[in-house]
Amino acid sequence: MNQLPTRQIPGVYHRRFGEVLVTALSDGFVEMGYDIFREFSRDEVDRMMARDHRLSPPRISVNCFLLRGPMGRVLIDTGSQDNFGPTAGKLFENLAAAGVDPASIEHVLLTHCHPDHSAGLTDTRDGRRLFPNARLIVNRKEIAHWFSDEERDRADERKRLRYFDWTRAQVGPYRDAGLLDEAGDGDEVLPGITLLECAGHTPGHSTWAIRSQGRQMIVWGDLAHVPEVQVARPGVSMSFDHDPDLAARNRIALLQRIHDEDMLVAGMHIHFPGFGWLMRDGDGWRIATEQWAFEI
């Protein structure tokens, strides 16, 4: 019996999207508590998670997405490195398993600056950029906020450390080296990649729309942290949202648009590999996760 495997093979999944090869890379997962939701009871969380046969309190999966195509070699988000314990921070081993050298990445795009998305940018012990040849592209509202001393002074101690100081340590080395490009809502930052702002979770929280051969897909960042709850009930916000009401309003509007425009969804916190389609379900939505395919 001791011959049986005790862990999964690497969390790497390729999916062709028009001219683009999209590779989902698992960064692992983080076990959360009930207090992550704002104004949502423990019983309701348990009920909604049980409906989908999920663990409760929820487990949040963390994914990053690598794009290879007319836009070059682009990584969207960088995972959590060593900030969330042994179940997370797997991006680099999965990149290696996929045969991708971090030095070959030409652009890194962030959905926002939170430690499960931006912590893989830099070795903060020595300031070494872990994507040494990449330019970094981030919503300028995100940079303006997390680099503002005034905003930092207004924040509580925990946010000061985890959001402001950590962001500066992660993004700073790219900025100091002249490798940071700031973008705004609607900007096509690279061929076929457009920033679609969806603020609220953070001041410049961004999703990235990918267009290829007449189809659209959206890499939606933290539009939903716990899809079982927030896709079904998009009005539910998180305790760590910067502006929870704005986050909910923008989530509700963007979910509708994703459905109306028939976009393929790729989610940072949809369970690996994180691809699916949005379908109406009563007053809310559900995600029909995409079937595994052998042929790329």
Residue with smaller CB distance to Zn ion, 192 or 234: 234
Q: Tell me how far, at minimum, the Cβ of 246 lies from Zn ion, in Å.
A: 17
d(CA 130, CA 253): 35
Q: Tell me how far, at minimum, the Cβ of 30 lies from Zn ion, in Å.
A: 9
Structure tokens at 273: 């590999």
Distances (CA, A) of 104 to 43, 138, 155: 47, 19, 37
Q: Tell me how far, at minimum, the Cβ of 201 lies from Zn ion, in Å.
A: 8
Q: Tell me how far, at minimum, the Cβ of 44 lies from Zn ion, in Å.
A: 21
Residue with smaller CB distance to Zn ion, 222 or 228: 222
* Count of chain residues binding Zn ion (CB under 5 A): 2
> Rg of the chain's alpha carbons, rounded to an integer?
18
Comparing C-alpha atoms, which of 280, 253, 251 is closest to residue 267? 251
CA 97 to chain centre: 20
List the interface residues with Zn ion, window 106-135 (CB under 5 A): 116
Q: Tell me how far, at minimum, the Cβ of 115 lies from Zn ion, in Å.
A: 9
Residue with smaller CB distance to Zn ion, 56 or 118: 118
Residue with smaller CB distance to Zn ion, 38 or 211: 38
Residue with smaller CB distance to Zn ion, 192 or 221: 221
Q: Tell me how far, at minimum, the Cβ of 296 lies from Zn ion, in Å.
A: 27
Residues facing 75 on adjacent strands: 66, 108
List the interface residues with Zn ion, window 192-251 (CB under 5 A): 222
Buried b / exposed e across 98-123, counting CB within 10 Å, b at 16+?
Answer: bebebeebebbbbbbbbbbbbbbbbe
Residue with smaller CB distance to Zn ion, 20 or 265: 265
List the interface residues with Zn ion, window 55-84 (CB under 5 A): none
Kindly give the pairing relationship between strand 193-197 and strand 206-212. antiparallel
Residues of this chain that interact with Zn ion (CB under 5 A) are: 116, 222
